[in-house]
Amino acid sequence: MNTVTETNFNFPRQKSVYHGKVRDVYNIDDDLLVMVATDRISAFDVILPKGIPGKGQMLNQIAATFLDATADIVPNWKLATPDPMVTVGLRCQPFAVEMIIRGYLTGSAWREYQKGCRVLCGVPLPDGMKENEAFPEPIITPTTKAEAGHDENISREEIIAQGIVSKQDYEQMERYTRMLFARGTEIAAQKGLILVDTKYEFGKRDGQVILMDEIHTPDSSRYFYANGFAERQQKGEAQRQLSKEFVRQWLIENGFMGQVGQQVPEMTDEICQNISARYQELYREITGAPFVPAPADENLAARIEKNVTRWLEEH
């Protein structure tokens, strides 16, 4: 399988590199970031042992599409995509929270709701809701951004009280989060999809709050098919969805939820190809175009190094 699961480049003017769960981020002269979307996949905050063919390219291209499609309403970090797996953008001072916005009761929120939770991240939840039911209006449920281990739920009041983010900046992030979700919902609807929930990350540069990282990808978002949604809901059937939730479900069925002592189930080549096929399905649905993978024999790392180096030398 042709995948990139680790990188160790040395680009012009490079000062440092940060290896995240999925992305490797290269600091160029404390001014720019080169973000390489690898083929690594994570679930329950754990990096799984094998890469997924084409995943990095798909995520990078979807994110670039949505960053461009929302640049008129929210300033973002993107400058260029010199390679199918790479975005180059402005280096910002990141805020230590992730802005999660949910239009529907599903995933981890539903799991908490089933346990009797009626207040999530300081937001009250109505009684009597069903799985996958729409909230009266989308709710924002932020988490802390952990350097290692699990992100933790936190309320807007705690974020401001603890000085993690100033009141002014947090309120701006909230406004931007709702605007981005509304635009993402609108674009998804045009493709016959429902944007169910997603997360955004923000930073600050020159006193301005700026959208960073990826947006509206299957790693950061959950989509349902609009066709048949109401009927399935009425019958209490599972919704057809496009997200990484199917990976989590496969792990749960095989006894893994990221807890201490649990073993990641074996990832055969067939399983990795199946996951890749599901990512390609979402790519087709959300972009309206078929995914064009790199040739099976292409040296992806060499291509990335060449394309990024050329861009940096020209800029």
Report d(CA 179, CA 185) in Å as an integer.
Answer: 10
Q: Are 14-92+267-314 and 94-243 equal in CATH topology? A: no
Q: What is the DSSP string of the chain?
A: -----------TTEEEEEE-SSEEEEEETTTEEEEEE-S--EETTEE-SS--TTHHHHHHHHHHHHHHHHTTTS-B-EEEEEETTEEEEE--EE-SEEEEEEEES-HHHHHHHHTT--EETTEE--TTPPTTPEEEEEEE--EE--SSS---B--HHHHHHTTSS-HHHHHHHHHHHHHHHHHHHHHHHHTTEEEEEEEEEEEEETTEEEEES--SSTTTEEEEESTTHHHHHHHTPPPPEEETHHHHHHHHHTT-SS-TT--PPP--HHHHHHHHHHHHHHHHHHHSS---PPPTT--HHHHHHHHHHHHHHH-
Q: What string of pLDDT tens digits covers the 315 residues of the chain?
A: 899 999 999 999 999 999 999 999 999 999 999 999 999 999 988 999 999 999 999 999 999 999 999 999 999 999 999 999 999 999 999 999 999 999 999 988 999 999 999 999 999 999 999 999 999 999 999 999 876 666 899 999 999 999 999 999 999 999 999 999 999 999 999 999 999 999 999 999 999 999 999 999 988 999 999 999 999 999 999 998 887 888 989 999 999 999 999 999 999 999 999 999 988 988 999 999 999 999 999 999 999 999 999 999 999
Q: Where are the domains of the chain?
A: 14-92+267-314, 94-243
What's the CATH superfamily of 94-243? ATP-grasp fold, B domain (3.30.470.20)
Whether the model pTM is above 0.95: no
What's the CATH superfamily of 14-92+267-314? Phosphorylase Kinase; domain 1 (3.30.200.20)
Report d(CA 186, CA 193) in Å as an integer.
Answer: 9
Report d(CA 88, CA 76) in Å as an integer.
Answer: 12
Residue 184: name the closest of 298, 68, 277 by CA: 68
